[in-house]
A and B are shown apart, each in its own frame.
Chain A
Amino acid sequence: MPVSNFVNPADLVRFLPEIILTVMGTLLMVLDPVLHKRSSYAFGHLSLLGLAAALVASVYAFRDPGPAFGGMLMVDGFATFFRVLVIGVGILTILPSYRFLARHDAETSEYHALLLYSIAGQCLMVSANELIMIFLGLEISSIASYILAGYLRDDKRANESALKYFLLGSFATGFFLYGVAFIYGSTGTVNLTSVHAALTGPNAPSPVFVGVAAALMFVGLAFKVSAAPFQVWAPDVYQGAPTPVTAFLSAGPKAAAFAIFLRIFMTSFQPIANGWEPLVWGSALLSMTIGNFAALLQSNVKRLLAYSSIAHAGYVLVALTARSDVGTAAAMFYLAAYAFMNVGAFAVVSHLSGRGERYQNVDDFAGLGQKQPLTAAMLTIFLLSLIGVPLTGGFFGKFYIFKAALESHLVWLTVLGLLNSAVAAYYYLRLLVMMYMHEPSEAATNAEPLSFGLSAALILPALGTLVLGIFPSWVLEFAGRSSNLVK
């Protein structure tokens, strides 16, 4: 094989976002001794710069879409959509991190470097077209996330969170890899397009092996997106991790994992869709039900949002069960809307929780409407969107998902999903009532004024939520055009 012309400039342009993020992450650590003396904010500024550059590079790479590195990567609309999404989540994670890290005396270059690496891994996952690349991206993203979850090492809960996340996460990756091995064993390839061709071709491998492979990969991915019955880790991990990291975990890695979920199951495993559909159907229903009903009982806001994120994973799985291009587009839209509202809600928790994250209870939100009207207003937008009230992104997200499900004749799943969203309204509204109809709590009274970074971290996602709710067609059209994945 000629080695000389293997890497060409077009490949590098399509790979530019990952290059920028990795280089920036490494640069941060190299510059650590110089920057640490001057200003503790410099790391955050540089990370934002790197993320902005990666964002531009992702959009630029899409001017000339196509495969890169001999089909290892596939830079298409789908990949670009999710690249922009995970980089955006990264920016919205760094903004509240300024105040959070300063409050805990934990401003280091490693925090930002790991965050950038994790995002680079997610960019890789969403643009990968080979199972090996997906696995590498998944591991880069996951290992960085494990560390970030336990970043505040003196905190017992953070330790518990990181350990649980690490052990169960490694286990899940093992399952995924086992599935990949089965695919390679039975088809002789790990390229998603070739796997699809092998499964539909004349010498199709034994359905038993392919079925086992699909099931194993489903287990691994279901863990990563915290779908039932593999969701048990999520509440403990989300509660113990530093709040900006929780915001990140609940949006970035999850969106990337859903992206590869969609790509693998809608391309490679599309020929055996009749086999996996009942599996995803059950998991979707179980996730929605467990998430929503368990959230009703929570008094800790981070746990509440963790259970709500399990329920939201269930809604996205409904879109996957529809197994149509419309369903894929709906899932893409929903993940974008979900990222905005969830990251925003966690930014509010990060703001209010105070040093040592003392204030995390629903009661601590009492009277926030009086003391900090702007914060309360922003949280209201996020919560209304999480419920799915019209004029917010969450409404159209649910609307398109259930529409896609109905088009695929999934009537029962739609009915049960809608009932579930009604249940969900209760616990979100409880938080709203607490904020506006109760006397101010100690937490609300002592809350610091909003810093510039935090205001941005609240206003940007709120704007995003509203834009998705008022002009959904902007994003939906793009999602619709990119949902037709290369098979």
Chain B
Amino acid sequence: MVIDAVSFYLFALMVLGGGILTITRRNAVHSAISLIVSLLGVAGLYLLQGAEFLFAVQIVLYVGGIMLLFLFVIMLVNLDMAAKERQFNHQWLVALVAVALVGAQTGYFLIRGQGAFRIADAGGIAPPSALGNTEILADALFSKYLLPFELVSVLLLVAVVGSVVMAKKRI
């Protein structure tokens, strides 16, 4: 149990520390690397909760795929120029209100405890079974939700064809 608590605080530190560094670093590459640390921390939290599949997906998709896209964009902008520019945050009032709201919400859930989540389990969501998280997910994905799962690939194909049509030199 101690090791659980220790790793929780470790991962939480990664998430929060990475997040704070992401928005305060002037150099865009440093920000991106901090974001990776933060996302890895989230992955660790998933693992602690026994959600191995989400853990793997988090690393493959966010840390691997989406961060790569970020880095591509960063490579295309002029870093030296960007580092010298004054950081601007005109929307700080909106951000403050949003943060206050989220804070109030989190506080409410902390005080009310588990009872606050009653709305979420009104329906017949299956109780946790002895099978692992990944097995349950795979079972749902490839039996009951096989058709939607396959159709998502059609959706992605359409999006790919569409972006090629929009981007290629000559129709």
Where the two chains meet, the residues of A that have a C-beta atom closer than 8 Å to any C-beta of B are 1-3, 6-7, 15, 22, 26, 29, 69-70, 72-73, 105-106, 108, 110, 113-114, 117, 120-121, 124, 130, 132-133, 136-137, 139-140, 143-144, 146-147, 150-153, 184-189, 198, 203, 205-206, 209
Please report the C-alpha to C-alpha distance between residue A188 and residue B126 in the assembled complex, in whole angstroms.
Answer: 10
Contacts of A144 in B (CB 8 A): 158, 162
Q: Does B100 count as interface, using CB distance less than 8 angstroms? A: no
Contact check: which of A133, A146, A188 meets B162 at CB < 8 Å? A146
Q: Does B1 count as interface, using CB distance less than 8 angstroms? A: no
Contacts of B121 in A (CB 8 A): 188
Task: Give B103 Cβ to nearest chain A Cβ, in Å.
Answer: 22
6 contacts between A and B (CB under 8 A): A1-B144, A72-B147, A106-B171, A124-B151, A132-B148, A137-B151
Contacts of B157 in A (CB 8 A): 26, 117
Q: Does B5 count as interface, using CB distance less than 8 angstroms? A: no
Q: Does B81 count as interface, using CB distance less than 8 angstroms? A: no
Please report the C-alpha to C-alpha distance between residue A120 and residue B158 in the assembled complex, in whole angstroms.
Answer: 11
Please report the C-alpha to C-alpha distance between residue A143 and residue B164 in the assembled complex, in whole angstroms.
Answer: 13
With contacts A124-B151, A133-B148 taken as known, whether A151 is within 8 angstroms of B122 at the C-beta atoms is no
Are A187's CB and B155's CB within 8 A? no
Q: Does B105 count as interface, using CB distance less than 8 angstroms? A: no
Contacts of B76 in A (CB 8 A): none
- B162 — nearest CB in chain A belongs to which residue? A147
Are A110's CB and B145's CB within 8 A? no
Contact check: which of B125, B148, B165 meets A188 at CB < 8 Å? B125
- A205 — nearest CB in chain B belongs to which residue? B122
Are A189's CB and B124's CB within 8 A? yes
Please report the C-alpha to C-alpha distance between residue A73 and residue B148 in the assembled complex, in whole angstroms.
Answer: 11
Within 8 A of A (CB), among B122-155: 122-125, 139, 142-148, 151-152, 154-155
Are A3's CB and B151's CB within 8 A? no
Shortest Cβ-Cβ A-B pairs, 9 listed = A188-B123, A147-B162, A69-B147, A136-B151, A1-B143, A110-B165, A3-B143, A117-B158, A188-B124
Please report the C-alpha to C-alpha distance between residue A184 and residue B145 in the assembled complex, in whole angstroms.
Answer: 15
Please report the C-alpha to C-alpha distance between residue A124 and residue B164 in the assembled complex, in whole angstroms.
Answer: 24
Contacts of A143 in B (CB 8 A): 155, 158-159, 162
Contact check: which of B119, B148, B161 meets A72 at CB < 8 Å? B148
Contacts of B159 in A (CB 8 A): 143
Q: Which size class do B's interface residues fall under?
A: 20 to 34
Q: Does B73 count as interface, using CB distance less than 8 angstroms? A: no
Produce 1/0 per residue, B90-102, CB < 8 A to A. Answer: 0000000000000
Please report the C-alpha to C-alpha distance between residue A454 and residue B120 in the assembled complex, in whole angstroms.
Answer: 55
With contacts A132-B148, A133-B151, A140-B155 taken as known, whether A114 is within 8 angstroms of B125 at the C-beta atoms is no
With contacts A136-B155, A153-B166 taken as known, whether A185 is within 8 angstroms of B148 at the C-beta atoms is no
Are A209's CB and B147's CB within 8 A? no
With contacts A185-B119, A187-B122 taken as known, whether A147 is within 8 angstroms of B151 at the C-beta atoms is no
- A109 — nearest CB in chain B belongs to which residue? B161
Are A209's CB and B154's CB within 8 A? no
Please report the C-alpha to C-alpha distance between residue A321 and residue B148 in the assembled complex, in whole angstroms.
Answer: 31
Please report the C-alpha to C-alpha distance between residue A98 and residue B153 in the assembled complex, in whole angstroms.
Answer: 30
* Residue in B139, B148, B162 with the greatest tally of chain A CB atoms within 10 Å: B162
Besides A72-B147, A117-B158, A205-B123, 13 other CB < 8 A contacts?
A15-B147, A69-B146, A108-B165, A113-B161, A132-B148, A136-B152, A140-B151, A140-B154, A147-B166, A150-B166, A153-B166, A187-B122, A203-B122
* Residue in B119, B122, B124, B154 with the greatest tally of chain A CB atoms within 10 Å: B154
Contact check: which of A108, A117, A206 meets B171 at CB < 8 Å? A108
